[in-house]
Amino acid sequence: MVSKLTIGDLQIISRTAVFRGLKPETVEHIISPAVGVMLKEHEPLFRQGEPATAFFIMLDGWVKLYRITLSGEETVIHVLTKGDSFAEAVAFTGNRYPATAEAVSDARVVRIPADHIVRCIRESPDIALAMIASTSQHLHHLVQHVEQLKAQSGVQRVAEFLVSLAPVDQGRYEISLPYDKVLIAARLGLKPESLSRAFAKLRSVGVAVHAAHVEISDVAKLRQLAADTRASIRGALRKP
């Protein structure tokens, strides 16, 4: 289902990296043909291999990007939420989507036609610079993710994920997991059973998990654990 964009939607759009720094009137021109798309949980937005005809900005909910490997397994590339943009570069080149985008909760996204953006870029090269900046941000995220998988233990990855959901620097905080644990494990490069073991180990540093509800006794302590070396983590987790 599609709908017109609201004033609140426009505020979210204007703060995304792809439009940051552009004049308000330029942003309004770019998104003039855009619409809001409502997605139900598990509903695909586009599929791997389909022609890339648009790019998207998240307004609400969660969407996962994943690829299907030659062996038929699903590999999660990213999980997106409010304010995230995606599929810019591939839409502008006229190629096919390299991954599938699927809602993991009820979600709402902005759909901006690629052919309209190309026309706008030809009219104003400043837009192209904004698109390059957005693509650079996505590349930076990918590099960080690869670094996380290479350098951090499973416990660290889980700790960092939990910290990212807590909008405070220290003290006690309670969160609700935004999507199911199978997807959390896939996003962090873990098996579901490895995620369960990581949650169990984090009990020793004050993390209590009750289904989708998580209680963190000290956010600063958990943040430090995510940043520590593996040797110091093993010591911390052995403490009674």
- Boundary-marking domain end, from 116, 135, 150: 150
Q: Report, as an integer, the average pLDDT of 162-186.
A: 93
Query: Are the CB atoms for 163 and 222 separated by under 8 Å?
Result: yes
Q: What confidence tens digit (pLDDT) does each residue in 121-143 have?
A: 888 777 777 777 666 666 666 66
Structural domain boundaries enclosing 182: 152-238
What's the whole-number average pLDDT of the chain? 87
- Boundary-marking domain end, from 150, 180, 212: 150
- Within 8 A by CB and 6+ apart from 131, the residues are 18, 88, 89, 92, 117, 121
Q: Report, as an integer, the average pLDDT of 25-46.
A: 93
Say if residue 40's pLDDT is above 90: yes
Say if residue 107's pLDDT is above 80: yes
124 vs 1: CA distance, rounded Å: 32
* Per-residue pLDDT band at 231 (split at 50, 70, 90): very low
One domain for residues 12 and 70: yes
83 vs 113: CA distance, rounded Å: 18
Task: Indicate the SS3 state at residue 234.
Answer: helix
102 vs 79: CA distance, rounded Å: 10
Q: Report, as an integer, the average pLDDT of 113-127.
A: 84
Looking at residue 148, its pLDDT comes to 62
Q: What confidence tens digit (pLDDT) does each residue in 57-83 have?
A: 999 999 999 998 888 888 998 999 999
Q: Report, as an integer, the average pLDDT of 157-185.
A: 93
- Our count of domains for the chain comes to 2
One domain for residues 104 and 180: no
Here the CATH number for the domain that contains residue 28 is 2.60.120.10
Query: Are the CB atoms for 48 and 97 separated by under 8 Å?
Result: yes
One domain for residues 124 and 174: no
One domain for residues 110 and 160: no
CA distances from 53 to 45, 50, 101, 227 (A): 12, 9, 14, 40
Q: Which neighbouring-strand residues pair with 173?
A: 216
201 vs 211: CA distance, rounded Å: 16
Q: Extract the runs of DSSP E, i.e. beta strands, from the chain.
A: 2-3, 35-39, 44-46, 54-60, 63-68, 74-80, 85-86, 100-103, 107-113, 173-176, 207-210, 213-216
Here the CATH number for the domain that contains residue 227 is 1.10.10.10
107 vs 86: CA distance, rounded Å: 15
One domain for residues 141 and 159: no
One domain for residues 117 and 178: no
Looking at residue 239, its pLDDT comes to 54
Say if residue 232's pLDDT is above 60: no
Six-digit token string for 214: 């998580």
One domain for residues 126 and 160: no
Range scoring the smallest mean pLDDT among 34-43, 62-71, 87-96, 104-113: 87-96
Task: Indicate the SS3 state at residue 169.
Answer: coil
One domain for residues 167 and 214: yes
Looking at residue 20, its pLDDT comes to 77
pTM of the full structure: 0.81
Q: Report, as an integer, the average pLDDT of 2-18.
A: 89
Range scoring the smallest mean pLDDT among 55-64, 81-90, 207-216: 81-90
- Boundary-marking domain end, from 130, 150, 170: 150
Q: Report, as an integer, the average pLDDT of 28-56.
A: 95
One domain for residues 114 and 169: no
